[in-house]
Structure 1
Amino acid sequence: MIVCLCNALTDTKLNEAVAQGARRPRDVYAACDCKAQCGTCTRMILSMIREAQDAPAANPAGLP
């Protein structure tokens, strides 16, 4: 799914950036070799970052 229309960034691309250590929206843009344009996607990117950070805490043993 396209999350950032201005830069044509998909959720897959953004999730990869977060998995590689991006912890702020600007880190995600940098990992994708672009910059924020209109900023509409910033909230979604921040939400994705927070979900990724919360995931290990919700399941510390890594159990399904």
Structure 2
Amino acid sequence: MFVCLCHGITSHVVSECVANGARTSKQIAEACGAGGDCGRCRRTLRAIIASQCEADEKAHTAARH
């Protein structure tokens, strides 16, 4: 799914940025350009970050138990 129409960035690309350490929409903009222009996609970027970080935290917690 396209997340950033200004730059043609997909959710897959954003997820890769998050997997590589991006934790803010500004960091994602620096990494791939999404969210760097009009800003309409920033809410979606933050939702992807939150979702992926939550899933990572659950996996990390499950691995400890």
TM-score for both structures, normalised by structure 1: 0.84
- Number of the residue aligned with 2:7: 7
Instruction: State the secondary structure of the residue aligned to 1:3.
Output: strand
Distance of 1:5 and 1:12 partners within structure 2: 14
Alignment partners' CA distance in 2, 1:15 and 1:56: 12
1:38 aligns with 2:27: no
- Unpaired runs of 5+ residues, structure 2, are none
Deviation, structure 1 residue 57: 2.6
CA distances 1:5-54 after superposition (whole Å, capped 9, x unpaired) = 0011001100000000001001011111x261111100000010011111
Runs of 5+ in structure 1 lacking a partner?
none
Identity of aligned residues (%): 34
In 2, the alpha carbon distance for the partners of 1:24 and 1:10 equals 17
Alpha-carbon RMSD across the aligned residues, in angstroms, is 1.4
Q: Following TM superposition, where does structure 1 have runs of at least 4 consecutive aligned residues deviating by more than 3 angstroms?
A: none
Aligned residues: 61
